[in-house]
Each structure stands twice: as C-alpha cells, then as structure tokens.
Amino acid sequence: MEPSNRERVWQVIHSIPAGKVSTYGKVAAMAGLPNLARAVGRYLSELPEGSKIPWHRVINSQGKISFAVGTERFLTQKEKLQGEDINFSNNRVDLKTYLWQGE
DNA sequence: CATTTGACTTGTG
DNA sequence: CCACAAGCCAAAT
C-alpha cells in the first residue's frame, strides 16, 4: 500500500528537528506536494489527538501561527514552540532563524 | 458531479 | 500592516 499524501506530510513534519519550524508550503514541497500547502493544514486539522506529529512546528509563510490570537490552539502551539527554544516577537517567529529548509 | 470550506501562498494596492 | 483576489488541493455535503 502506497503512502497517502497525508502520511508523507506527517513524515516530513516528523522530520522537523526541535528548535526549528517550517511553513505549510515548505512542508508540502518537502513531501513532494508543491501546491498542497492547504492540504497540509487540512491533514493537521484531522490529526488524531494521540498523534506524535509535532504539528506545532508548522506555521504559515509569514512566520505566524495560523490561529487567531487568544484561541486555545494558538496558545498551545505558542507554548510548545517556546518550549523548544523558539523565540517569538509580537506573535511572530523569526523564520530567518528558525525556518527548517530541509537537511 | 457541483458547491462549500479551510491550520495556505503570493501578488497588488 | 491590512484587505482583497486568484491559484491550488482535499474532504464533506
């Protein structure tokens, strides 16, 4: 059985090292799905709660979390990122420093 | 099969 | 920085 796109995406996300982040488009591209940035977000939205996928290391191309500030998901992601030595500036991550561009 | 919706991206103004 | 539009894709209805 061939891995579905969702599984490939999960695998890519899983390869993001702690202390680094990636964007939806980047993850999609790394998974071999150049234009599936949205699909990546969809896959993450459907992640089982017990999943080991570090979805919190995936943010949008602006270096910001894709949730509205103050929402539970937003806070959860922010906390996790900060726990990985990722520094925020005004709800923004410095992609220049933390973006994972592959190996 | 057509429409809607969404954790997206990029370009314009 | 913010708003809008166009492009792209998957799953749900």
Among A7, A102, A79, which Cα is nearest to A46's? A7
Task: State the nucleotide closest to A67 in CA–C1' terms.
Answer: B7
Q: How confident is the model at residue A2 (pLDDT cuts 50, 70, 90)?
A: low
Residue spans per domain, chain A: 5-98
The CATH T-level fold of domain A5-98 is: Arc Repressor Mutant, subunit A (1.10.10)
**CB A14 under 7 Å to nucleic chain C:** no
Q: Which helix (H) or strand (E) holds A58?
A: strand A58-59
Burial of A67 by CB count in 10 Å (0-12 exposed, 13-18 middle, 19+ buried)?
A: middle
SS3 call for A59: strand
User: How confident is the model over A56-96, as pLDDT tens digits?
Assistant: 999 999 999 999 888 889 999 999 999 999 999 888 999 99
A50 has a pLDDT exceeding 90: no
- Distance between the alpha carbon (CA) of A61 and the C1' atom of C11, Å: 24
* Per-residue confidence (pLDDT) for residue A1, from 0 to 100: 62
- Residue A49: the pLDDT is 74
C-alpha count within 13 angstroms, C-beta hemisphere, residue A32:
8
